[in-house]
A and B are shown apart, each in its own frame.
Chain A
Amino acid sequence: MVFLENFRIAAAALRANAMRSILTTLGIIIGVAAVIAVVSVVQGLQQMITKELQGVGATYMEVRPDFGRRDPGRVARQVKLTWDDGKAVRERIAGIRLITPLLAGAAQVKYGDRKYNPGAIYGVNQDYQEVVNSAVDRGRFFSRIDLDNRRNVIVLGQKVVDELGLEPDPVGKEVYLGSYPATVIGVMEKKGQSLGNNLDDRAFVPFDAAVSLFGRNAADAVQFRLQARSTDDVERVRDGITHLLRQRHHLGPDQPDDFKVRIEDEILKTVSTVLGSVTAVVGGVVGVALLVGGIGIMNIMLVSVTERTREIGVRKAMGARRQDVLLQFLIEAVTLSLLGGGLGIAVGYGLGSGVARLLPDWPPAHVPLWAVGLAFGFSAMVGIFFGIYPAGKASRLDPIDALHYE
């Protein structure tokens, strides 16, 4: 028997009952569409986060105060993380290449009579741009000299430049940050959107300026961003920081850390874990949908075998062997489930793209090739698994009985 002939027979049989075939595959379509939709949305997100984290490199680390919201025994205002801690870290922990404080707050920027509130004002030091791997596009970032001399300087994100109506090259212009005058010395390169944050909607001032702007209390909850010398140093630096800060904060052995050191690897891992569990839950749902879909296929194939008993008898009289009949109905079941898989991929991709577009600032949906392969593979497996029983039944029919079936 020519193997390919089975596909022609299957296609003809499915076309003869087009509506029934589509309805039968609905379970598979829904299952595959669900997995593809979720995977495409999640993958788009993961792709973006991974790209961003790879941008700062594997030696990137963050230290932030941990107010322990989940730990009711701790009083939030006792938690302090100051730049004095940061300086101590810089001086006493080996393996740190660069470290910058980061004090975030909000304030109004004014240029002439235009006013604008950027998404965030960051107080940082001269190493910031190298620590987070982002550079100025025009002008320059502040230098150590600017910081030491407490010069009133400011570096703007592109969106702030646009909102204030500054000319494309605003270097040298005077703006007001709150009530303090500041000279624009640079514009950061464009970064775009990330998880609902516009990375260009920011302004950067020297750390001390931010402290005077946001007040002493704000300076008790500073974050640090740092780069270790090498990836081998990352773990050691983290342990060193933990040890030093616990000492400086006078934490007893049974008290939890009041700060958090996060390394790039962990950030990636956290993201992967969250996305992984989302995928696992979806996988479970899809497993059930595919099971139901498979039972639907088995059901309709049993109906089909009964309806076509005469045809099976004729084929056997014409010389079809058991395996010919078995293969014919098995291929029909697999074609049915693959049809469902294909439609499911198309529907799922459409859904995923739609959802990604509806969610604000969400990255575009991305369907990886492995997901397509997996969807088709699983569909085929469902077809074989649930098709084997009806096909076996067809192949075992006695030709004489089948020919006289009414």
Chain B
Amino acid sequence: MALIDLTDIHKVYDMGAEKVRALNGVDLAIERGEYVAIMGSSGSGKSTLMNLLGCLDTPSSGHYRLNGVAVEELDDQQLAAIRNKEIGFVFQTFNLLARTDALHNVELPLIYAGVPRAERRERAKRALERVGLGERMSHQPNELSGGQRQRVAVARALVNDPSILLADEPTGNLDSTTSLEIMELFAQLHRAGNTVILVTHEPDIAAFAERQVMLKDGKVVADHPTLRAAATHA
């Protein structure tokens, strides 16, 4: 069974007079260990899809199975628990807690997972070392560069060993050199066995993935492997 299995997903927003169909019958399956880029212009429904994949929201109709769990049936509490356990978010604007050092930022998901303090600290340290920030643990976000902040955010996403790394325009606020470094980091995490889902509108960023899913008007209009996949698996 696929790690992610979406069947006939609809998402309708009721905007008073008119109803906005953000997703209009999406079918998508993603296997464990895949590196998928979800693409589309603004208004294509890719943000809505990302919110659903990240269990921040539930579909109006259709079925979403994540790691065997029917997400559409979950309530607020259960959604919070599944986000904590299964999803590692990386945001365009980093979304680190201000005035909180890197180590404590990375510890955050473990706090809500109820991990004891000593173990929390140890795992957060290891995650920061994995993204190459072992030396910057006690730095606060405003003492770090954009690329370093995003690395902290990646460490935070990784720390609870989620099923999916879900990155929403992770390079949107970075210059091209730093963007490359971050994409290199994702590639490295993918090679280590992580499932990575990238939401972006930039083709050259999407090119780092092994599979591209193109959305338009709330529907999947294209779904194909990339050149990189061909190169890797050749």
Taking the complex as formed, is B99 at the interface, i.e. its CB lies under 8 A from any CB of chain A? yes
Q: Please determine whether A1 and B111 come into contact, CB atoms closer than 8 angstroms.
A: yes
Q: How far is B98's CA from A12's CA once the two chains are assembled, in angstroms? A: 11
Q: Is B149 an interface position by the 8 A CB rule?
A: no
B160, closest chain A residue (CB) = A319
Residue of A nearest to B162 (CB): A319
With a cutoff of 8 Å between Cβ atoms, the chain A residues found around residue B97 in the complex are 311, 314
Contact A317 B114 (CB under 8 A): no
Taking a contact as CB atoms under 8 Å apart, the answer to whether A399 and B56 are in contact is: yes
Please tell me which stretch of B74-82, B203-211, B219-227 contacts chain A, meaning at least 4 of its Cβ atoms lie within 8 angstroms of it.
B74-82
Known: A318-B156, A319-B81, A322-B76. A403 touches B95 (CB 8 A): yes
A321 to B111, CA, bound (A): 12
When each residue 294-318 of chain A gets 1 if its CB lies under 8 Å from chain B and 0 otherwise, what string results? 0000000000000000110111111
A277 to chain B, nearest CB (A): 49
Known contacts A12-B100, A316-B80, A318-B108; A400 and B95 CB within 8 A of each other:
no
On whether the beta carbons of B117 and A2 are closer than 8 Å, the reply is yes
> Smallest distance from the beta carbon of B142 to chain A beta carbons, Å?
12
| A402 nearest CB neighbor, chain B only | B56
Q: Which residue of A lies closest to B108 (CB)?
A: A318
Which A residues touch B112, using CB under 8 A? 1, 315, 318-321, 324
Q: How large is the interface on A (under 10, 10 to 19, 20 to 34, 35 or more residues)?
A: 20 to 34
In the bound complex, CA of A162 to CA of B77 (Å): 82
Does B136 make an interface contact (CB < 8 A)?
no
Chain B CB within 10 A, most for which of A2, A311, A316, A319: A319
Bound-state Cα–Cα, A2 to B109, Å? 12
Q: Is the CB of A315 within 8 A of B56?
A: no
Interface residues of A, dominant DSSP? helix
Let me know if A403 and B91 touch, CB within 8 A.
yes
Taking a contact as CB atoms closer than 8 A, the residue among B80, B87, B99 that contacts A16 in the complex is B99
In the complex the two chains form, is A317's CB within 8 Å of B111's CB? Answer: no
A318 touches B83 (CB 8 A): yes
Q: Using A311-B97, A317-B56 as known contacts, say yes or no to A1 and B114 having CB atoms under 8 A apart.
A: yes
Residues in B with CB closer than 8 Å to A148 are none
Chain A, residues 152-173, CB within 8 Å of chain B (1/0): the string is 0000000000000000000000
Contact A317 B76 (CB under 8 A): no
Q: How far is the CA of A393 from the CA of B188 in the complex (A)?
A: 41
Chain A residue contacts of B91, Cβ below 8 A: 403
Contact yes or no, A317 B117, CB < 8 A: no
A317 touches B83 (CB 8 A): yes
For A8, give the chain B residue with the smallest CB separation.
Answer: B104
List, in ascending order, chain A residues with CB within 8 A of B54's CB.
Answer: 317
Residue A5 interfacial (CB < 8 Å): yes
Q: Which size class do B's interface residues fall under?
A: 20 to 34
Nearest CB of chain B from residue A210's CB, rounded to whole Å = 79
Q: Which chain B residues border A310 with CB–CB below 8 Å?
A: 95
**Chain A window 376-402, contacts with chain B (Cβ cutoff 8 Å), 1 for yes, 0 for no:** 000000000000000000000001100
A313 contacts across to B, CB distance below 8 A:
95
Question: Given A1-B114, A2-B117, A399-B56, are A12 and B99 also a contact pair (CB < 8 Å)?
Answer: yes
CA distance A315 to B111 in the complex (A): 10
What residue of chain A has the Cβ atom nearest to residue B86's Cβ? A319
Indicate whether B195 reaches chain A with its CB closer than 8 angstroms: no
CB-CB contacts below 8 Å: B129-164 with A: 156, 160
Which residue of B is nearest A2, CB measured?
Answer: B111
- Confirm or deny: B89 has a beta carbon within 8 angstroms of a beta carbon on chain A: yes
Q: Does the CB pair B56–A400 fall under 8 Å?
A: yes
Q: How far is the CA of A310 from the CA of B111 in the complex (A)?
A: 18
- Give the Cβ gap from B108 to chain A, nearest Cβ, in Å: 5
Q: A16-B99, A403-B95 are in contact. Are A319 and B109 (CB under 8 A)?
A: yes
B84 at interface, CB cutoff 8 A: yes
Is B57 positioned at the interface, with any CB of A under 8 Å from its CB? yes
Known: A311-B97, A400-B51, A400-B57. A317 touches B81 (CB 8 A): no
Q: Contacts A12-B100, A16-B99, A403-B95 given: A318-B117 contact, CB under 8 Å?
A: no
CA–CA, A310 and B87, complex, Å = 18
Report chain B residues within 8 Å CB of A5.
111
Bound complex: CA of A310 vs CA of B117, how far in Å? 25
Q: Smallest CB-CB separation from B120: which chain A residue?
A: A2
User: Which of A16, A315, A322, A400 lies in contact with B108, CB distance below 8 A?
Assistant: A315
Q: How far is the CA of A2 from the CA of B99 in the complex (A)?
A: 20
For A318, the chain B residues whose CB sits under 8 A away are: 83-84, 89, 108-109, 112, 156
Residues of A with C-beta under 8 A to B87: 317
Query: A165 to chain B: closest CB distance in Å?
Result: 72
Q: Which residues 41-64 in B have Cβ within 8 Å of A in the complex?
A: 51, 54, 56-57
Q: Are A319 and B80 in contact (CB under 8 A)?
A: yes
Q: Are B85 and A314 in contact (CB under 8 A)?
A: no
- Nearest Cβ on chain B to A292's Cβ, whole angstroms: 30
What are 29 sample pairs from A and B whose C-beta atoms fall under 8 A apart? A1-B111, A1-B114, A2-B111, A2-B114, A2-B117, A16-B99, A310-B95, A314-B108, A315-B112, A316-B80, A316-B83, A317-B56, A317-B95, A318-B89, A318-B108, A319-B81, A319-B83, A319-B109, A319-B112, A319-B113, A319-B160, A320-B80, A321-B77, A322-B77, A322-B80, A399-B56, A403-B56, A403-B91, A403-B95
> Closest 6 A-B residue pairs measured CB to CB?
A319-B84, A319-B112, A321-B80, A318-B109, A314-B95, A319-B83
Give residues in A with beta carbon < 8 Å to B.
1-2, 5, 12, 16, 310-311, 313-322, 324, 399-400, 403
If A319-B85, A319-B113 are given as contacts, then 5 extra A-B residue pairs at C-beta distance below 8 Å, sorted by A number, are: A317-B87, A399-B56, A403-B56, A403-B91, A403-B95
